[in-house]
Structure 1
């Protein structure tokens, strides 16, 4: 059975000029795309199946990510249903010269595991084996409240 730690993924993308808006910061849609992709990777690692996005909880953009900074997206599975998984996602901006990080966005995405015909399939149960697993699960559950 997979654990939250097994599904933890952190990905980095440097914000390029073609990914920015008129304010020279990352388009919100670009940040959401990064979050969706990393969330799907986490869900697939958990389920062992292809996964598609089913829902996105409130996604607030608390601060921008300037061009040239790095978008750091983290994801982990914290809950499961019969065919779905809930993934906690955070995005931060990281200064590439100093390593300074600041939270920019966060959300919970729900993914559904599907077979090769696109039909939902059962996912395994989430297992909690360590203190880190408990912390990750609790951070995900707290995000929903």
Structure 2
């Protein structure tokens, strides 16, 4: 059984010209793809199995990510169901030269663990056994309520 903080993953994508729209900022579809990939990694780390996206809620783009900046994607699992895993995914734009960072996107994904036949399989409970785990879970639940 994994705990919340063991599912925490941070990944970076440098926003290149091929990743941008006609405003020279990260194309929203690319940002969602990166979020989905990193979120799935958190879900799979907990499930110990392949996971597929079942639901995305409250996907808000608050700020653009300019070409040349870095998209920092953070995700972690914070709650489970029978075969589902709820994952919070947050995105930040980061200036690679200064490290200046600001949040651009916040969302909540639901992934379902599957077997080789692509049928849902049970997932273990997620443990909350440290202050860091409680902080992450509580922030996700509070953000989900306010979304």
TM-score, length of structure 1 as denominator length: 0.99
| 8 Å contact from structure 1 (residues 108, 143) kept in 2 | no
Aligned to 1:133: 133
Q: Secondary structure at the match of 1:58?
A: strand
Answering whether residue 33 of structure 2 is matched by residue 33 of structure 1, we say yes
User: How far 1:143 sits from its partner (Å)?
Assistant: 1.7
TM-score, length of structure 2 as denominator length: 0.98
Q: Secondary structure at the match of 1:144?
A: helix
Q: Secondary structure at the match of 1:82?
A: coil
Q: Secondary structure at the match of 1:40?
A: helix
Q: CA RMSD in A?
A: 0.4
Aligned to 1:115: 115
Answering whether residue 111 of structure 2 is matched by residue 103 of structure 1, we say no
User: How far 1:19 sits from its partner (Å)?
Assistant: 0.6
Distance in structure 2 (CA, Å) of the matches to 1:60 and 1:132: 25
Structure 2: unaligned runs, 5 residues or longer: none
Q: Secondary structure at the match of 1:34?
A: helix
Moved over 2 A (4+): none
Aligned to 1:70: 70
Q: Secondary structure at the match of 1:57?
A: strand
Q: Secondary structure at the match of 1:133?
A: helix
Aligned to 1:87: 87
User: How far 1:65 sits from its partner (Å)?
Assistant: 0.2
Aligned to 1:58: 58
